[in-house]
Structure 1
Amino acid sequence: MTRCAIDIHYLTDQLKQLLAIQSPTGYTDTIVRHVTKELQRLGLHVELTRRGAIRAVRQGSRRASARAIVSHVDTLGAQVKAIKPNGRLELVPIGTWSALFAMGARATIFSDKGSYRGTILPLKASGHTFNNEVDTQPIGWAHVELRVDALARNVGDLGKLGVEIGDIVAIDPQAEFLENGFIVSRHLDDKAGVAIMLAAIDALERANAATPVDIHWLFTIAEEVGVGASSILTPDVASMVTVDNGTTAPGQNSSEFGVTIAMADQTGPFDYHLTKKLVRLCEAEEIVHQKDIFRYYRSDSASAVEAGADVRTALVTFGVDASHGWERIHVHALRSLAELLTAYATAPVEIERDRNLHAGLEGFTHQPAAEAHQDLAEDWEASE
């Protein structure tokens, strides 16, 4: 149960490479190839599902009650909803994000005849034309359009370019890596999580660290639309830790520094025992951490459980300011989270019963406070 040293340069270099690859949900083949090749370079055996979700297994002392660690390679984006008479494109979002953050974004449209650059603009984009209406117009996806940087004056021009309804639009990350450790970019959710996992694997390999069970390193391709880890787990996985963004905002306890451990999200509490284990690991390894609850949030954990996987789930996060917008993180959180993953991967198994899909009461877990309360209640009833 020892955390491994993380190569920060490797972590940030991987994040830069990941951010440079456009991967909105539905357009993830290229980033799947990139991550797969890096996992193979690190020495892991990699399998892909039909659509490209990635499973890389690092063998441990046994296969039963394996652990999974998961993040997602897909990002927010948009699709062409309609081709407008003025030669511009109406959009619908891929994933849940505000048109307020889309305005001004540079983007790439992928058509069958090639890709084109463009800018997402409000319908009234010129103060010289609309005066104060540029500040009073409504906000929403119906009130923005994509201006294509090509000869696109009308529907016919766009047809010649091969642009069609349903074409996918990728949003530029416009990443900045500052010397003080802050990173500002779109799509840090969840490419930072992918980089963290790669850095943790790299650290385990460099340390030649042994793990008590197999570790399944999973990378999903459709988390932003709710599919996530719904079809990637195998029956031998007993617990799954999701790596994703924490929401630093007023009313939240998340931080851009250290690890933020989620106690619950909109789908309910995470597994009591797995979450407590992660907290204890942070305490034992002196990893800065805090706890939080996310009200309007779901992750790969939710999709796995909703698909019927009987696994313990937990969520560990790097704090993100302005999530799903102009996101900002700090390398301190990335390093801290990677360290926690190495400590978790090498930690002893505590619930041996979890190696079985079904078993009796013997070896079943305890929640001491609740059972102490029950004992008191029984003592009180006996005294009546």
Structure 2
Amino acid sequence: MLGIASPTGYTDEVVWEVCRELGRLGVDYELTRRGAIRARIPGDEPRPARAVVAHVDTLGAQVKAVKDNGRLEVVPIGHWSSRFAEGARGTVFSEKGGWRGTILPLKASGHTFNEEVDEQPVSWRQVEMRIDARVRNRHDVLKLGIDVGDIIAIDPQPEFLDNGFIVSRHLDDKAGVAVMLAAMKAIMEDPQTPTVDTYWLFTIAEEVGSGASSVLVPDVASMITVDNGTTAPGQNSDEFGVTIAMADQTGPFDFHLTRKLVKLAREEDIRFQKDVFRYYRSDSASALEAGADIRTALVTFGVDASHGYERIHVHALRSLAELLTAYVLSPVEIERDASPMAGVEGFTHQDHKEAHERAGREKPAPERDDREPR
């Protein structure tokens, strides 16, 4: 999958590849108009159905303007820094085919600009794409079929090391897609039938925020998102084991679903850690914002330098696949979730009874005299 260009808006070919793999696994699937994939592995009961989701689209760039010097002004697809774009090789897809090129700072030659090379701001306005063709001006570029709006795919440059590390761009979220396919393979080969129907979703626009907004079915009551966890200073994520997210910038993930995943990891002796992400959203957010009344959780593989030149370890991928498999084969604990609306019978408790009782016994704060300074 890393070898298939798939920035958001240019995902058709990677969708074909995932569909071919689903066919090899013997899993039924269907596509939305634009290419989001919904596969289903039947369970003992159709409801409350579960879903697992990852996205096939990646970061990329787009032509903002064809410049008089024959270079391309570019803007990002998705949220990533131009710092990681400087020096990147890529392909711009024009009406007349693909053209190779390099994204460079406006002042790229140290022999010409000396210290000014290091003094340039980090900004998408400070970079341009140099096309590997004989072009000296805007007219030459337009003759190649390159024009405003053309999509640019950034080369992944993957390395798979003997010690288990994988280094590449776009591991977010093609590594997550690979994990899902591995878990599906294991489940299809297991004699045990999943407890309920499980939908395996592959979205095509997560990097621009719309992700899982239009691929769910009403029977789904809970959805686990598979994506990257950021192993950076101040974070608890790790490149080893699975990282279970407790919250991201959209708020806490579902209390009961998240606790279930933690419990399964402990019972199955799967290495895990918890984390909270400040500047992060995923397919879970897009599903909820679209109006889906579902429980959501996020499980991740630790990524160093996320949205840059990323690094992961196969240990995290394996741990994540093991947790997904355990979840799909686990019994349903909240049977009331089979109905979208129901009475209070069977509704959940957040069972910290003693803490609630202690809170109820706390003395109220004394009333404030409004004449006191605030």
TM-score (norm 1): 0.93
Matched ranges for 1:105-184 at <5 A:
105-184=88-167
- SS state of the match for residue 84, structure 2? helix
Of 70, 75, 80, 1:92 maps to: 75
Q: Deviations over 1:166-221 (max 9, x none)?
A: 00000000000000000000000000000000000111112233111001000000
Equivalent residue letter for 1:24: P
Determine if the alignment matches structure 1 residue 374 to structure 2 residue 352: no
Match of 2:233 in 1: 250
Of 21, 24, 45, 2:28 maps to: 45
Of 187, 195, 201, 1:204 maps to: 187
Equivalent residue letter for 2:174: K
The alpha carbon displacement at 1:372 in A equals: 3.1
Equivalent residue letter for 2:135: A
Equivalent residue letter for 1:315: L
Equivalent residue letter for 1:222: A
Match of 2:64 in 1: 81
Match of 1:185 in 2: 168
1:150–1:283: structure 2 CA closer, same or farther, 3 Å change rule? same
Equivalent residue letter for 2:322: E
TM-score (norm 2): 0.96
Of 227, 231, 251, 1:268 maps to: 251
Determine if the alignment matches structure 1 residue 323 to structure 2 residue 286: no
Counterparts of 2:121 and 2:154 in 1: how far apart (Å)?
Answer: 22
Counterparts of 1:85 and 1:95 in 2: how far apart (Å)?
Answer: 27
Of 229, 236, 239, 2:212 maps to: 229
The alpha carbon displacement at 1:275 in A equals: 0.2
Structure 1 residue runs of 5 or longer lacking an equivalent are 1-17
The alpha carbon displacement at 1:376 in A equals: 4.6
Counterparts of 1:162 and 1:380 in 2: how far apart (Å)?
Answer: 72
Counterparts of 1:372 and 1:363 in 2: how far apart (Å)?
Answer: 21
Query: What is the alpha-carbon root mean square deviation over aligned residues?
Result: 1.1
- SS state of the match for residue 30, structure 2? strand
User: Identical aligned pairs, as a percentage?
Assistant: 71
- SS state of the match for residue 102, structure 1? coil
Equivalent residue letter for 1:178: L
Equivalent residue letter for 2:134: L
Equivalent residue letter for 1:113: K
- SS state of the match for residue 104, structure 1? coil
Counterparts of 1:190 and 1:278 in 2: how far apart (Å)?
Answer: 20
Higher helix share: 1
1:362–1:108: structure 2 CA closer, same or farther, 3 Å change rule? same
Counterparts of 2:175 and 2:69 in 1: how far apart (Å)?
Answer: 38
